[in-house]
């Protein structure tokens, strides 16, 4: 019988790509999502790619009674991958309670119910935001955690602490925390991808929408940073590479490959790319010009951060494979598909 995995936030951007990879690897998937930042049509995309429609339950994870019912009717859930969370950094500043409720109470509900449900492990979506501006680059997992700059960032730090305290208290499950750098791109089939609500806050959807003519021009937030070309540097990772790391992590938890009850891994390529470099790579790969202007720095931006992925490479046995060029091309193909469908 196939091992059953609960994927919370499974119709979201990273969640949907992970569901595809889990199904391709032979897992049976149950998605719980409240569709607050995704649409039901994502299930069609997943089905087209994998020939299998995952079980879908529309529910808010704050509904603990509902969650308990899911565990009773699917008594064979062995692992959880927990993506569901609110993730707009700016919004979190003026709606902190929404962020703490959605990002913390939901985790508490899952952890509370796992022992009785017999769930053996949980993979948690964390972020490189926990490092703030690291003193040493590339950043390793034992770099100090810096004070968070937003309720969103703080919620990820608190989530990590809650998981650590729960594991050390001896609750009968294991966990892997994955700290993502900047996920971009879309599935090569262009059946699923990122679908931002309103004006995109993240760089790559803004670039593809500008290239499509939906936005007039890209604003590059600052060219006076202490970096070679003055723009900020990030570690951009293909979302499919990221999704595959989750399959490796859940395999590791469920087959007891490690004695450790809690492990933390950076998921990045190890390559730092500036905003202006990313833009010129996009233009080179797609042949489409993107109008842009340099504007003021964005408040709260980190100057430069990229991963040391050695721990994930050597211990998890996972490495990011896609180049930033092919990743940007996949994002552009997805944007073109959205246009064909009349969505954007
Ligand atoms: C990347 C670079 C901008 C938009 C955020 C969250 C993080 C994570 C991923 C989320 C920066 C520049 C951007 C634009 C620009 N988690 N930029 N013009 O800020 O690294 O990380 O998203 O879910 O927690 O903080 O990503 O894509 O917003 O920005 O110049 O219109 O692009 O200044 O240097 P960021 P991003």
Say if residue 164 is in the same domain as residue 46. Answer: yes
CA of residue 20 to ligand 1 center, whole Å = 25
Say if residue 104 is in the same domain as residue 165. Answer: yes
Q: Answer with the one of 267, 287, 319 that is the final residue of a domain.
A: 267
CATH of the domain at 53: 3.40.50.720
Tell me how many degrees the CA angle 23-27-30 measures, rounded to the nearest 5: 85
Q: Answer with the one of 223, 250, 267 that is the final residue of a domain.
A: 267
**pLDDT-based confidence at 283, cuts 50/70/90?**
very high
In this structure, the residue with its CA closest to atom 3 of ligand 1 is 221
Q: Say if 48 falls within a structural domain.
A: yes
Please count the structural domains in the chain: 2
Pocket test for ligand 1, best of 146, 185, 203 (most atoms within 8 A of CB): 203
Say if residue 260 is in the same domain as residue 300. Answer: no
Question: What was the pLDDT predicted at 85?
Answer: 98
Tally of CA atoms within 13 A in the half-sphere of 61 that contains its CB: 30
Cα–Cα distance, 290 to 205 (Å, whole number): 12
Ligand 1 site, CB within 6 A: 87, 89, 127, 129, 182, 201-203, 206, 218-221, 232, 234, 275, 298, 301
Q: Say if 197 falls within a structural domain.
A: no
Say if residue 19 is in the same domain as residue 158. Answer: yes
Say if residue 169 is in the same domain as residue 209. Answer: no
Say if residue 163 is in the same domain as residue 309. Answer: no
Strand partners, 325: none
Q: Say if 225 falls within a structural domain.
A: yes
In this structure, the residue with its CA closest to atom 10 of ligand 1 is 87
Reported as a single tens digit per residue, the pLDDT across 307-340 is 999 999 999 999 999 999 999 999 999 999 999 9
- Cis amide linkage into residue 48, ω under 30° from 0: no
Predicted confidence (pLDDT) at residue 164 exceeds the cutoff of 80: yes
Predicted confidence (pLDDT) at residue 137 exceeds the cutoff of 80: yes
Rounded to an integer, the average pLDDT of 12-29 is 98
Pocket test for ligand 1, best of 275, 294, 299 (most atoms within 8 A of CB): 275
Say if residue 35 is in the same domain as residue 84. Answer: yes
**pLDDT-based confidence at 1, cuts 50/70/90?**
confident
pTM flag (> 0.75): yes
pLDDT averaged over the chain?
Answer: 97
In this structure, the residue with its CA closest to atom 13 of ligand 1 is 203
Say if residue 90 is in the same domain as residue 52. Answer: yes
Q: Are strands 55-58 and 77-82 parallel, antiparallel or unpaired?
A: unpaired
Q: Say if 110 falls within a structural domain.
A: yes
In this structure, the residue with its CA closest to atom 9 of ligand 1 is 182
Predicted confidence (pLDDT) at residue 285 exceeds the cutoff of 90: yes
Q: Say if 33 falls within a structural domain.
A: yes
Say if residue 262 is in the same domain as residue 276. Answer: no
Helix (H, G, I), strand (E, B), or coil: what is residue 127?
strand
Asked whether 278 and 102 are in contact (CB, 8 A), the reply is no
Cα–Cα distance, 310 to 189 (Å, whole number): 30
In this structure, the residue with its CA closest to atom 33 of ligand 1 is 221
Predicted confidence (pLDDT) at residue 212 exceeds the cutoff of 90: yes
Say if residue 115 is in the same domain as residue 58. Answer: yes
Question: What was the pLDDT predicted at 257?
Answer: 87
CA of residue 89 to ligand 1 center, whole Å = 10
CA of residue 207 to ligand 1 center, whole Å = 12
Helix (H, G, I), strand (E, B), or coil: what is residue 94?
helix
Say if residue 83 is in the same domain as residue 131. Answer: yes
CATH of the domain at 287: 3.90.25.10
Q: Say if 198 falls within a structural domain.
A: no
Please give the number of the atom of ligand 1 that sits closest to the Cα of 204.
27
Q: Say if 90 falls within a structural domain.
A: yes
Question: What was the pLDDT predicted at 18?
Answer: 99
Q: Which domain holds residue 226?
A: 203-234+270-340
H or E segment and range at residue 151: helix 151-168
Please give the number of the atom of ligand 1 that sits closest to the Cα of 156.
24
Catalytic residues: 152
Question: What was the pLDDT predicted at 300?
Answer: 87
Q: Say if 283 falls within a structural domain.
A: yes
Say if residue 109 is in the same domain as residue 223. Answer: no
């Amino acid at each position: 019988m196939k091992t059953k995995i609960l994927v919370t936030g499974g119709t979201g951007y990273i969640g949907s790509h992970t569901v595809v990879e889990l199904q391709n690897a032979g897992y049976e998937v149950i998605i719980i999502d409240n569709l607050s930042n995704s649409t039901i049509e994502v299930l069609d995309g997943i089905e087209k790619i994998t020939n299998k429609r995952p079980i879908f339950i529309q529910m808010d994870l704050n509904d603990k009674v509902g969650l308990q019912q899911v565990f009773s009717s699917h008594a064979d859930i062995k692992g959880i991958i927990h993506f569901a969370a609110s993730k707009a950094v700016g919004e979190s500043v003026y709606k902190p309670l929404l962020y703490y409720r959605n990002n913390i109470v939901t985790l508490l509900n899952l952890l509370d119910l796992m022992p009785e449900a017999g769930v053996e492990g949980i993979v948690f979506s964390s972020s490189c935001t926990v490092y703030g501006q690291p003193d040493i680059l590339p950043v390793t997992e034992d770099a100090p955690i810096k004070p968070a700059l937003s309720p969103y960032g703080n919620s990820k730090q608190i989530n990590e602490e809650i998981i650590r305290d729960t594991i050390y208290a001896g609750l009968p499950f294991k966990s892997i925390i994955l700290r993502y750098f900047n996920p971009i791109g879309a599935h090569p089939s262009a059946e699923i991808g990122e679908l931002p609500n309103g004006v995109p806050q993240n760089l790559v959807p803004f670039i593809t929408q500008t290239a499509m003519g939906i936005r007039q021009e890209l604003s590059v937030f600052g060219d006076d940073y202490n970096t070679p070309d003055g723009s900020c540097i990030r570690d951009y990772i293909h979302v499919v590479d990221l999704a595959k790391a989750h399959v490796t992590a859940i395999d590791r938890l469920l087959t007891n490959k490690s004695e450790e009850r809690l492990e933390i891994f950076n998921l990045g390529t190890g390559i730092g790319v500036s905003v202006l470099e990313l833009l010129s790579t996009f233009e080179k790969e797609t042949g489409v010009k993107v109008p842009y202007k340099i504007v003021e720095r964005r408040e709260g931006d980190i100057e430069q951060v990229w991963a040391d992925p050695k721990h994930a490479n050597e211990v998890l046995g996972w490495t990011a494979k896609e180049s930033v060029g092919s990743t940007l091309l996949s994002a552009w193909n997805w944007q073109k598909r959205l246009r064909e469908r009349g969505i954007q």
